[in-house]
Amino acid sequence: MIRALAAELTKLKRASLPLWSVVTVLVSPAMSNIFATAQDSGEWQLTWPEFFKLGSMTMGTWWGILLFGLITAFVFGREYAEGVSPNMLTTPTRREYFVLAKFAVLSVWVIALAMLSLVAQGLAAFALGLDGFAWAEVWPVAGDVLTVALLILLTQPVIAFFAVASRGVFAPMILSAAGFLAGMLGGIAGWGDWLPWAMPTVVGGTLFGPIIPIETQLTVGSWAIAVGLALIGIAATLVRMNRADSQG
């Protein structure tokens, strides 16, 4: 397991996606600014806490689903896209370890970007000269952002399976885009309590939040669906990886 994890980290050192993912997160507050500007009717005074809260919405309905899906496609499909998958499949290490190592790297990567987004959103609010900063406002929003990141992360094993099954990055990226649309439309339709891709909207809201408020809530059943989907995706990815030789 340690050898597989070390191999995944070595691959990241030679890749440019980690840097570009950081850049994407650092500029993500611009989406919040666009949204806030669009909602400004002259009667609403934007404050630091209100702008800070928009971070979980933009992650859950915009950049988070697409960026995390791209990262998953990269982590699980890169070897196939570059034609070096035989090297991984013939390494004298159990294939389950490679899969688990990839999921570990993906999880740390996603959570790290989520935490970075909190810093970027807060600094952007200061840069805009917004008033009302209070530490009491930071912690609940931080919890919301991490919850949104976790909910998105729980959908990624399905993306990982498609990367392994299709032996590339194109199919999982298409699926990620479909998840983006399903999440946005499902959130507006009020399906966030049962549709995994729409669950982040229950926490962070949607682009049309002021017009169409979210009335659904996450329940124990909602989390059971999300975790169940993740476990199915992980199991399917493990099975597909172990059968890679026999199925070509």
Predicted local distance difference test score (pLDDT) of residue 188: 87
Residue carrying the six token digits 């810093």: 119
pLDDT, tens digit, 9 for 90 and up, residues 29-62? 988 877 777 665 555 578 899 899 999 999 998 8
CA angle, 9 as apex, 7 and 11 as ends, to 5°?
Answer: 70
pLDDT band at 246 (very low <50, low <70, confident <90, very high): very low
pLDDT, tens digit, 9 for 90 and up, residues 64-107? 999 999 999 999 988 777 666 555 555 666 778 889 999 999 99
> Which tokens hold the place of 230?
């993740």
Predicted local distance difference test score (pLDDT) of residue 39: 63
pLDDT band at 248 (very low <50, low <70, confident <90, very high): very low
pLDDT band at 7 (very low <50, low <70, confident <90, very high): confident
Q: Which amino acid is at 165?
A: A
Predicted local distance difference test score (pLDDT) of residue 216: 84
Residue carrying the six token digits 């992650």: 59
pLDDT, tens digit, 9 for 90 and up, residues 136-149? 989 999 999 999 99
